């Protein structure tokens, strides 16, 4: 995962995942416009292994995080990956996926748990937490968060994501104490939904498993 080379930025002419557009509107009697991006709805899952008493996360390379870790003056092509290594783009996140199938959100979430983390779970055992809007300034896409408890016996593969879709994911399992230490840092390489999910877990579930 650390191997990164031939990094270039090019104009986006078409995409299966994002669609830029502009919204025109009148507010308080004034004409306004706002540039937006249409993206897929998504699901994310807080996963806790009750056998090992560890939270289960995914670690992956995020190009947007990588690019925004590089000063604007150094983003000329090609980007110097010796000066700016791949580790700048690695994030720790909840297991998640886009909603691009005609299935229930719980079924899609269960498929993502199996695909990314290797645990086979009955989708009916997922606990609904909340739905919120991500990227409110640019996309406003809804994301639904679930909670899942798994056991060592439910681990049927190593996970790692869908290789046919180019996914390259590491599964990271951390104890409650390790997560607390991670969150004590001044800056964490994680999105807001991840932080909310962990605060929910500490508020609602952690006390059940800390002796």
What's the rounded Cα separation, in Å, for the pair 119 and 158? 8
Structure tokens at 199: 């605060």
The average pLDDT across 20-44 equals: 95
Give the DSSP letter of residue 187.
Answer: S
At 161 the pLDDT is 86
pLDDT beyond 80 at 211? no
Q: What are 147-179's pLDDT values in tens digits?
A: 999 999 999 999 998 877 778 899 999 999 999
Judge if the upstream peptide bond of residue 78 is cis by omega within 30 degrees of 0.
Answer: yes
Cβ-based burial of 59 (10 A; exposed 0-12, middle 13-18, buried ≥19) = middle
At 29 the pLDDT is 96
* 16 band by pLDDT with thresholds 50, 70 and 90: confident
* 20 band by pLDDT with thresholds 50, 70 and 90: very high
Q: What are 111-154's pLDDT values in tens digits?
A: 999 999 999 999 999 999 999 999 899 999 999 999 999 999 99
At 66 the pLDDT is 96
At 13 the pLDDT is 85
At 164 the pLDDT is 78
């Amino acid at each position: 995962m650390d191997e990164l080379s031939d990094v270039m930025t090019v104009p986006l002419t078409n995409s299966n995942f994002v669609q830029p557009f502009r919204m025109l509107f009148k507010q308080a009697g004034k004409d306004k416009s706002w540039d937006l991006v249409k993206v897929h709805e998504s699901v994310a899952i807080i996963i806790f292994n009750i056998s090992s008493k560890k939270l289960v996360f995914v670690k992956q390379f995020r190009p947007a995080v990588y690019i925004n870790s590089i000063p604007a003056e150094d983003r000329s092509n090609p980007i110097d990956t010796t000066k700016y290594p791949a580790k700048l783009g690695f994030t720790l996140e909840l297991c998640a996926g886009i909603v691009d199938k005609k299935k229930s959100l719980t079924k899609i979430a269960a498929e993502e748990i199996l695909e990314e983390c290797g645990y086979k779970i009955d989708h009916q055992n997922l606990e609904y937490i909340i739905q919120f809007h991500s990227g409110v300034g640019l996309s406003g896409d809804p994301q639904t968060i679930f909670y899942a408890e798994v056991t060592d016996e439910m681990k049927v593969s190593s996970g790692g994501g869908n290789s046919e879709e180019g996914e390259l994911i590491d599964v990271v399992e951390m104890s409650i104490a390790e997560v607390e230490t991670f969150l004590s840092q001044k800056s964490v390489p994680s999105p807001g939904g991840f932080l909310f999910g962990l605060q929910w877990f500490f508020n609602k579930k952690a006390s059940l498993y800390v002796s």
